[in-house]
Amino acid sequence: MEMLTEELTDMVQPQTGFRLFMEYAFRFLELALGIVKFTIHMTVVIFFGIFNIFFRMIGR
């Protein structure tokens, strides 16, 4: 991913400020995606945990 961002920023390089902005944008995007994935994963884990306990209570 790091190589890809470098190639993309090299392609669009009218000024150094824009390149810097692109790098920050990509970093922020990766961070945001990571947070979203983590949140979804935790929500699913918690949901299935509650679901499992609920069904065990019904089963007994």
Which tokens hold the place of 34?
């990571």
Largest CA distance in the chain: 69
Span 37-54, average pLDDT: 94
Name the pTM for this structure: 0.48
Residue type, 49: G
Span 19-48, average pLDDT: 93
Could you state, in order of their start, the residue ranges of all structural domains in the chain?
2-59
List Cα–Cα distances, 12 to 2, 22, 30, 32, 44, in angstroms.
Answer: 16, 9, 20, 23, 39
With a pLDDT cut of 70, the percent of the chain lying above it is 73
User: Minimal CA–CA distance to 41: which of 31, 51, 33, 52?
Assistant: 33
What's the alpha-carbon Rg for the chain, to the nearest Å?
21
